[in-house]
Amino acid sequence: MEKWCHIKKISLSFALVLLLNFTGTSESRAQDPAVYYIAGAALATVLPGFVFDLPQPDSKQAFTKLSASQFDAVDDENKAYDFSLEFQPGWTWARVKPLVGITGNTDGSFYGWLAASHDFHITRHFVINFNIGPAFYIGGDKAKNLGSAGVLRSGFEVGYRFDNAMRITGSFHHMSHGKLLNPDTNPGTEMIGINFSVPIN
C-alpha cells in the first residue's frame, strides 16, 4: 500500500509537470489557443485516472498504429496530409505508456516523436488517450516553417476499443516550440486524423 501511494505521488507529479511544460508561457498560449483545448482534455482524463486508479485493460498490450491526418487543419495555411506509423510497447509504468512514431507528409516533410501516453477508459469500449512528448520536424521545400526542428507534440485520441483490444479513434494534435527555441517564429500547427491501432500478441 505504501509503495502504491509513493508511485501515485510520482505519477501525479509527472502529469502536472507535463501539463505545466506543455502550456508554456502566456504569450505562446495566446498565439496557439489549441493548447487550451488539449490541456483541458488532459486535465479531464489524466488526473482522474491517477486519483481514482481507473482500470487500464491494455496496460500490458503492445500496439502498432496506422494513422492518416490533415496537417495544418486549423490554420489552413500549409494544408497537407500526414501518414503515420506508431509503436507502443506492452508495458506501463505508473499508468504511463511510452510510444514512438514517425510521419511522412505530402508536402515533403517528415517528423518523428517519442511520447508518454495515458489511457482513460470511460467504459471498456470507450477510451480517451492523452499523449505528449518531443518531436523532430524536418520540413520540405513547400512545408510549413515551425521556427525550429525541435518541437513539442501533444494531443488526444477518442474512440472505440473492440473486445480484442483493436481500436479506431479520432485524434487532435498540436506541434510548436512555444518560442523557446526561436523567439521570432512560432506559428504552430494542428493535425486532425483517424487512427487504427492493432494489438501485437
Provide the CATH number for the domain around residue 133.
2.40.160.20
Residue 88 is which amino acid?
Q
Instruction: State the Cα–Cα distance between residues 16 and 132, nearest whole angstrom.
Output: 12
Here the cell at position 105 is 507528409
Average pLDDT over residues 94-123: 94
Look at residue 33 in the predicted model and tell me its pLDDT. Answer: 67
Query: What is the phi-psi region of residue 95: left when phi exceeds 0, alpha when psi lies from -120 to 50, beta otherwise?
Result: left
Here the cell at position 184 is 521570432
- Residue 25, exposed/middle/buried by CB under 10 A (0-12, 13-18, 19+)? exposed
CA angle, residues 53, 54, 57, in degrees to nearest 5: 120
Residue 13 lies in domain:
2-200
Here the cell at position 138 is 524536418
How many structural domains are present in the chain?
1
| Beta strands, E only, 52-139 | 62-71, 80-88, 97-105, 110-121, 126-138
Look at residue 26 in the predicted model and tell me its pLDDT. Answer: 44
Name which residue leads in pLDDT, 108 or 8.
108
Model confidence over 8-31: pLDDT tens digits?
554 554 454 445 444 444 444 445
Instruction: State the Cα–Cα distance between residues 197 and 183, nearest whole angstrom.
Output: 37
